[in-house]
Structure 1
Amino acid sequence: MDDTVGKSISCKAAVAWEPGKPLSIETIEVAPPKAKEVRVKVLYSGVCHSDLSILNGSLRGRFPIILGHEGSGIVESVGEGVTDFQAGDHVIPLYLPQCNTCRNCKSGKTNICEEFLGKTHAFGLMSDGTPRFTCDGKPVYHFMACSAFSQYIVLPHMSVCKINNTAPLEKVCLLGCGIATGYGAALNTAKVEPGSTCAVWGLGPIGLSAVMGCKKAGASRIIGVDINPEKFELGKKFGLTEGINPKDHDKPIQEVLMGMTDGGVDYTFECIGNINAMRAAFDSCHKGWGKTIVLGIAPTAEEFSTNPISFTLGKHILGSIYGEWKGKDDVPKLIEGYNKKEILLDEFITHTMALEKINEAFDLMREGKSLRTVINLWPDTVLTVRKSEL
């Protein structure tokens, strides 16, 4: 890697030139890292629904953009002032940074670093107000500081987590977003109690990881709500005890659930991003103590509403981002959980394919034919690279 230090690198990346269009495999230039930045050779990346939400325009993004935020890779070089990483380190990019110096990071009350809320992060730029990607001389913007659909990326050092070199990069990349999100929502946000009853709307990767978290917490009943009944058998691998298809009932699903659970569910999780499902999940909660955790990301223009009397009756609705994990502190702990078989990762991976087939990965997601597709960005060389670094 020494021959690339301090120089721009040409590599392949999947570029989204505009909303609603397929990704285009391009040769891009990746600038060397500046002060407090790290350049990473990305080996693997999961394809997450948040990437699709930007691509289809339901969430705002700045185009052209390189998507991807469930990555894993090896540090290629570091910029001036970076002392916590060196070339050869195995790392996970963090879409939710951890600076440890802002008011939010110091508070101990949230994992939402103020850098995540800053304009540069939201606008696809680095801290100096410029991107590190160009294609044919034109700027290409970053996605949540990660852009893991590129063979090389540059990140702020606060957006990188060092992991053990023995961790399987083709699996632990998934801890960069979805799996950690649902799992943490059950354990950290809801704080599910042993013996409680939980219901999960949407049995995709986030929903199934919420099921996994509820099981870890000791819930006695974990009910899946999905219009695809095939998901119920799958969900049993992760801890699901039963499933309900709203299409099988002639009354609202909240009425069905309240009848099944003696007046309401203790904890509900909305993992779809559908405002009607959010309302149903909230209405299904037990009065006095029920909690609804909203994990699904609804289109930017939509609004959720409910009758305020529900709040005076002691019901709660909470949001959760990245399962309330702090990336630098907690990703290594999540990897330990995987090693102990407390966290399932292999079971989420339904497809693995090369970067050139990334549009097929999005098609599989749209059609509901995949849980997680992992993109292998270096299919001809990655295994050799991994062995040489161990």
Structure 2
Amino acid sequence: MKAAVLYSTVPAADSAGGKQSYAESRPLLVQELEQPEPRAGELGVSITYSSLCHSDLSVVDGSRVRPLPMALGHEAVGRVVSVGDSVADVSVGDHVVLVFVPSCGMCRACLAGRPALCHRAAEVNGSGDLLHGPALLRTPTGERINHHLGVSAFADYAVVARESVVVIDDDVPDTVAAMFGCAVLTGMGAVFNTAGVGPGQSVTVFGLGAVGLSAVMAARLAGASSVIAIDPNRGKHHLARDAGATAVGRPEDAGRLIGEAAGDGVDVAIEAVGSAGVIASCLEQVTRGGAVVSVGLPRPSAELSVPALQFAGAGKRLLGSYMGDAVPARDIPKYLAYWQEGRLPVELLHTDTRPLAGINEGLDALAAGQVVRRLFQA
């Protein structure tokens, strides 16, 4: 099999303080590995397309600490090619979307109907193992290679837990399905599951990457009367309009646009940047009783300082949303049905497709805001 492996992190800035060129430093090594077989409870999946996300970049630059070496990638689509013992509901040939939280079904979060917060999944995702056993990948010299979020999708093949896949219809194009396991699931889930946006409400989305644009689409589907999309990159503004935004602008425009659309503040603000400062700004931008949903992943060292009286005094809420509080087996088919009905223009997220050999150049493009979702084919 072939996989892109990270052996050491590379900071976002070089020694002179300039932006790092990943095309030059080449932190991800695409190499041949021995192909493992699935154990009990696992599947072998032939990866057709994988998708590059900021969460991958945050591992490469060291802001999200993971055990190395690690085969990266957590958003993908593929076909099942082998089935381990005790798996009875998935067959060879099934079309599957890979999911980066393989819920155990038995911990307190799973039993409460919140599999995205599975305690066991958090443990094994943090250690680089799989839900049903230790890491299977090895370097050519026999050194252990850790799995990224139970998926390791920058590859042409992966062994994953049965709980890491959702079977989908055969006729969904892979270039569409590839983006449902993280971007669409997270952005739409933040609107539907975490915020519970309803008809007539006003919504602002800060950050127009794939997750933020998915949140814009979801807000319009939910019947929001105003959807204000904010990003400093003007190149993404037309995508937001096509996704359903009623107004778009840069951060300095947010106050004016919100005032014009919703008076004293919006009902819901979605923070899809990964910035403590933007979270604090969102709390100022929502109306009394409004909700801020934090979707982006700030650096672990980031701290939030806000006036405490905004909560009890103004009834505002700050809600965390991991993987969109999704139940993947329920939500992925539902969101795909919206796409099949022509109500969810997910194709807007797909910037282009490249060979896996260009993964390091893809990191540069993502860091520079030149792409939304670049797909890779091994």
- 1:125 equivalent in structure 2: 129
1:15 to 5, 20, 23: 5
1:207 to 199, 203, 212: 212
- C-alpha displacement of 1:62: 1.1
- C-alpha displacement of 1:259: 7.0
Please tell me whether residue 365 in structure 1 is matched to residue 366 in structure 2.
Answer: yes
- 1:87 equivalent in structure 2: 92
- 2:377 equivalent in structure 1: 376
Relative to structure 1, the CA distance from residue 352 to residue 194 in structure 2 (aligned partners, 3 Å threshold; closer, same or farther) is same
Secondary structure, aligned partner of 1:41? strand
Secondary structure, aligned partner of 1:335? helix
Distance 1:245 1:92 in 2: 34
Q: Single out whichever of 219-228 and 38-47 deviates more from structure 2.
A: 219-228
2:138 to 134, 140, 160: 134
- 2:300 equivalent in structure 1: 300
AA aligned opposite 2:291: K
- 1:387 equivalent in structure 2: none
Once the two structures are superposed, residues 216-259 of structure 1 have per-residue CA deviations (whole angstroms, 9 ceiling, x without a partner) of 111111112221233222211011111232346xxxx5587457
AA aligned opposite 1:300: P
- Maintained 8 Å contact 2:210/2:372: yes
Any gaps of 5 or more consecutive residues in structure 2? 11-25
AA aligned opposite 1:121: N
Once the two structures are superposed, residues 156-208 of structure 1 have per-residue CA deviations (whole angstroms, 9 ceiling, x without a partner) of 11112112222212210100101221112112211112122111111111111
Q: Single out whichever of 160-169 and 210-219 deviates more from structure 2.
A: 160-169
Distance 1:345 1:324 in 2: 20
Distance 2:64 2:255 in 1: 28
Please tell me whether residue 339 in structure 1 is matched to residue 343 in structure 2.
Answer: no
Relative to structure 1, the CA distance from residue 109 to residue 147 in structure 2 (aligned partners, 3 Å threshold; closer, same or farther) is closer
Distance 2:239 2:109 in 1: 38
Relative to structure 1, the CA distance from residue 315 to residue 176 in structure 2 (aligned partners, 3 Å threshold; closer, same or farther) is same
Q: Single out whichever of 80-89 and 143-152 deviates more from structure 2.
A: 80-89
Secondary structure, aligned partner of 1:292? strand
- 2:16 equivalent in structure 1: none
Distance 2:120 2:338 in 1: 28
- Maintained 8 Å contact 2:228/2:258: no
Please tell me whether residue 52 in structure 1 is matched to residue 53 in structure 2.
Answer: no
Distance 1:326 1:109 in 2: 7
- C-alpha displacement of 1:319: 1.0
AA aligned opposite 1:261: A
Distance 2:66 2:40 in 1: 26
- Maintained 8 Å contact 1:291/1:316: yes
- Maintained 8 Å contact 2:114/2:327: no
Distance 2:87 2:106 in 1: 16
Aligned counterparts, 1:241-320, within 5 A: 241-247=246-252, 254=255, 257-258=258-259, 261-287=262-288, 289-312=289-312, 313-320=314-321
State TM-score, norm by structure 1.
0.88
- 1:163 equivalent in structure 2: 168
- Maintained 8 Å contact 1:13/1:25: yes
- Maintained 8 Å contact 1:254/1:283: no
- Maintained 8 Å contact 1:43/1:73: yes
Relative to structure 1, the CA distance from residue 91 to residue 128 in structure 2 (aligned partners, 3 Å threshold; closer, same or farther) is closer
- Maintained 8 Å contact 1:67/1:148: yes
Distance 2:100 2:211 in 1: 16
1:176 to 178, 181, 198: 181
Number of equivalent positions: 361
State TM-score, norm by structure 2.
0.91
Distance 1:246 1:33 in 2: 48
Distance 1:192 1:161 in 2: 25
Any gaps of 5 or more consecutive residues in structure 1? 1-10, 378-390
- 1:72 equivalent in structure 2: 77
AA aligned opposite 2:54: H
